[in-house]
Amino acid sequence: MITYINECDKLKITLPREYVKGYVDFCAYAPFTGGVCRLVQDKIVIELSGKIFSTPTDLGSITKENIEQIPEIIKERTGMEIDIGYFMEHATLCRFDIKKDLLLTDKPSVYLSEMRESLNRNTDKYTIHRYGALNYEEGLTLIPKAKSTKHRYSMYDKGTEVKKNRYKNSEYYDKFVCVFLDDISRTVRCEYQSLSFDDMRKVLKLPKNKKPAVADIFEYRPDIIEEQYRKLLAA
């Protein structure tokens, strides 16, 4: 599996309706594999996941190498036409989830249990929750106690998450479970979820008056996961 710096698992952007061509007015909701486009008042909201680039041997990521393919994929699957320059530089970035997969020699449950014990001892800035439907030995989500801080950390057993999510989209997951389950059964996925303009500016070191754009993620050279998890473990 090729690993690029700052791989995204999820992106959410908005752009004014007048910058989109070919969108059928009465179709306010257009889902497709790896994403959904919604019409909300005078804006188009686009939510994307790494599944848009999934293959039989990779669950998929949004990276610097493939991000410019997304407008063409959206056009093929929904009929919407979005200028690539506008998509990269001017669409408003509302959320990003940066991810990194760790292939372990030990069981993910051992790693996650040790991480939870360490965080319980060493940080008082976050509350620790289960990740989705997983138990504490399968996945953790850390939420800041300060309500003004809009980000989250998640660490979870990717193999178990894949198996538990099969019922949502069995056709999609069945392409992967039998192909490389051995690898993902030893994989912990780490994510940093940025959920506000202020947090994105802080993480990407943008000026205070700069509206975060898609291009900012992939032009930022330091490893965001490494930076943010180092801060977490030092908190």
Q: What is the pLDDT of residues 46-89, one digit of tens each?
A: 999 998 998 777 778 999 999 999 999 998 888 888 889 999 99
Q: What is the pLDDT of residue 1?
A: 42
User: Is 131 strand, coil or helix?
Assistant: coil
Q: Any idea where the domains of the chain sit in the sequence?
A: 7-96, 97-234
Q: What is the pLDDT of residue 40?
A: 85
DSSP at 57: T
Enumerate residue ranges in the chain where pLDDT < 50.
1-2, 26
Nearest in space to 139 (alpha carbons), one of 124, 149, 128: 128
DSSP at 55: B
Q: What is the pLDDT of residue 175?
A: 62
Nearest in space to 38 (alpha carbons), one of 24, 47, 28: 28
Q: What is the pLDDT of residue 177?
A: 55
Question: Among the residues of the chain, which ranges form H helices?
Answer: 70-78, 84-89, 108-122, 158-164, 170-184, 197-204, 214-219, 224-234
Distance CA 227, CA 5 (A): 12
